[in-house]
Amino acid sequence: MSLDLSKLVGQIIDLAASLKSKEGERKAKLEFALKTVKSSAADMNGLKQKVEASKSTWLVAGPKESIDLGQTAPGCPDDFIVLASDGSHIDVDRHQSAHCFLINIGIAQLQYGRGPDAQLLNFPSLYFKDGEVAITSDDGRQLPIEGQLLGIKRSIEECRWLTERVNELSADLPLVALLDGSLILWRLAEQVYPDFVIRELLIDGFLKYLTRLREISRRRPLVVASYISFPRSTEVVNLLRLAICPHLPVDCDRYCSGKFEGRECDVVGGLLDRDLFARLLTPGQRSALFSSRSSVVVKYYGANEVNLFYIRLDGEVARVEVPLWVAENEKLVGLVHSTIWDQCRRGLGYPVALSEAHEQAVVNVADREQFWRLVNQILVEDGIFLESSAKSESKRARWI
Amino acid sequence: MDKVSKIGEVIEASSAEFTAQCYKLEQAPPLGSLVKTQDKLGDIYGVIYNVETHSLEPGRRVVARGENLEAEEEIFKANPQLSRLLTTDFRVLVVGHVEGKSWHHYLPPKPASIHSFVYTCQLEEVRAFTRSLDFLSLIVNARIPVPVDEVIGACLRYASQAHQDPNAFLVKAGKELAFMLSTDVQRLNSLLKRLK
């Protein structure tokens, strides 16, 4: 039975009315937030000290430049390469007899300038060996890689393939290496994972590749950045909450414990960072640089500390994250800024290299079905007895 | 036409026709050209009846990109990925084959093999193949999604250049068509106009 949309029309009308009723309140909050940006920018040292001294429960961005900054993009180099990596996966299917998962990495390498060229590549890998489908601790504990953990594993593989490709390229042209999504492995922070998982995925995985990229950057012009379209983050709005807070030093647990509304800082509550920067920036401009103060970054990232800025595009505000070694070099920040702006204009609002990497990586529903069919076919040809669940069979052969 | 070059590869084949993918974007030979594939059983000859450039992936449409650019080449320069995402295919009507040293102006026993290479033909080869016009009936009676008489006209004009006396060749071809289309004077007249 397909979804009965006629039963939903009334509820969708209610949704629209609810959004409309909140619009006036949101506008007032935004105006107040913009005034706070201006007043805070006038005393950046004061704001930085307030942040440092605070004991806030909010995740607050660390300001590195004046927070009302609107920096115009410099020009792109005459010749440069944009390299992007993206991935998709087929998760372990417990209704299938073969315990395995697939990660498909797409790479787009676009060269601009006097020798335009493109390489579009994909690298599908099947994981099925005991050591591949679970993370094992020294004392033999195991955590299977599936679901959320597989999503993290995929991010690491995206970074690994990007690093390998960067390493293979000749070192003559400026190279911008892009990842899709965040450099912060939020999902590792959201759940409490054992130390051996953090070590394998983050320290010996993602951060190892970021460090490798930093090393390569010493011998060739290279920047690394990740791009988040339509971000829902609120770290800069939370910074305004601190600016607004009348208590010194800010201590949420002490002054506002148990309160979820009516706090002084709630005058900007509900706003997103992108709401602010859609008003503060003109198309092509970037915001100030901020450092991420998220616990996973502070605890593990070290020299790869994640810094970020927002960029206003023609259609949206995007978030760009860079490691500390890029953020500390004005020229490298300029290269990321100009390239992202240029890529979005070439790509109808989204970086064209990321879009093509995605196209190389994407695994659609038909691909998934074909993949499992091929797995089963080859297993049968090899005379391997197969069991699959009745539920899986029922979904495949729909009957009345 | 004066030298053989490998231009593409068969990606779909049936007894009467095949589709080939061009190695280089928009580098298909002209409409009506004679091309061949080489097979274990011998060469298969065909006439190009349609050339198409399109997105490699059926779900992705090509969009206009040059509004703010001066020249069309700049579109490809500014979007280098395009050459990897677009492809040129050409469709070929099979009009004959060679078995051993014998030319046959009728369909081969088996279709062209998938992935077999497609080559252009040398002048001498075109001249040799079109010495007999028996292959014309395969085109005249073909049911294809482009106006078939346009293909016949293009093919004969193209082949005439391989002969020492192009006009004499066209007159001979006109007579052959007159014989084949004796019951359809209107079509014959329209076709003969295309041989000029």
Query: What tens digit of pLDDT does each residue of A42-76 get?
Result: 999 999 999 999 998 999 999 999 999 999 999 99
Q: What is the pLDDT of residue A398?
A: 64
Query: What tens digit of pLDDT does each residue of A94-117 get?
Result: 888 788 999 999 999 999 999 999
Q: What's the CA gap between B94 and A370, in Å, rounded? A: 34
CB A201 within 8 A of CB A156: yes
Q: What's the CA gap between A320 and A287, in Å, rounded? A: 10
The whole-angstrom distance between B174's CA and the closest CA on chain A is: 48
Q: What are the mean pLDDT values of chain A's consecutive 10-residue runs (400 residues total)? A: 89 93 91 95 93 92 96 96 97 87 97 95 95 91 93 97 95 94 87 88 96 95 97 97 92 87 90 97 97 93 96 96 97 98 94 96 93 88 71 64
Confirm or reject contact between A115 and chain B (CB < 8 A).
no
Q: What's the CA gap between B147 and B144, in Å, rounded? A: 7
Angle of CA points A301, A303, A306, to nearest 5°: 55
CB A106 within 8 A of CB A87: yes
Q: What is the pLDDT of residue A388?
A: 66
**CB B80 to CB A356 under 8 A?**
no
Domain ranges within chain B, ordered by starting residue: 6-193
Q: What is the pLDDT of residue A68?
A: 96
What is the number of H-type helices and E-type strands within chain B? 7, 7
For residue A228, the SS3 value is: strand
Copy the structure tokens of residue A53.
């001294």
Q: Which of A110, A122, A360, A363 to mutate to test the interface with B (most CBs of B within 10 A)?
A: A110
Region B171-193: what's the mean pLDDT? 93
For residue A224, the cross-strand partners are: A177
Query: Could you tell me which chain A residue has the CA closest to the CA of B57?
Result: A359
Q: What's the CA gap between A361 and A369, in Å, rounded? A: 16
Domain ranges within chain A, ordered by starting residue: 69-233+272-363, 367-400
| Domain A69-233+272-363 architecture | 2-Layer Sandwich (3.30)
For residue A225, the SS3 value is: strand
The whole-angstrom distance between B79's CA and the closest CA on chain A is: 7
The whole-angstrom distance between A30's CA and the closest CA on chain B is: 36
pTM of the model: 0.86
Q: Which amino acid type is present at position A137?
A: S
Res. B33: pLDDT tops 80: yes
Output DSSP code: residue A240.
H
Chain B residues with beta carbon closer than 8 angstroms to that of A352: 79, 81
**CB B85 to CB A119 under 8 A?**
no
Angle of CA points B77, A81, B69, to nearest 5°: 25
Query: What tens digit of pLDDT does each residue of A157-197 get?
Result: 999 999 999 999 987 899 999 999 999 998 887 778 899 99
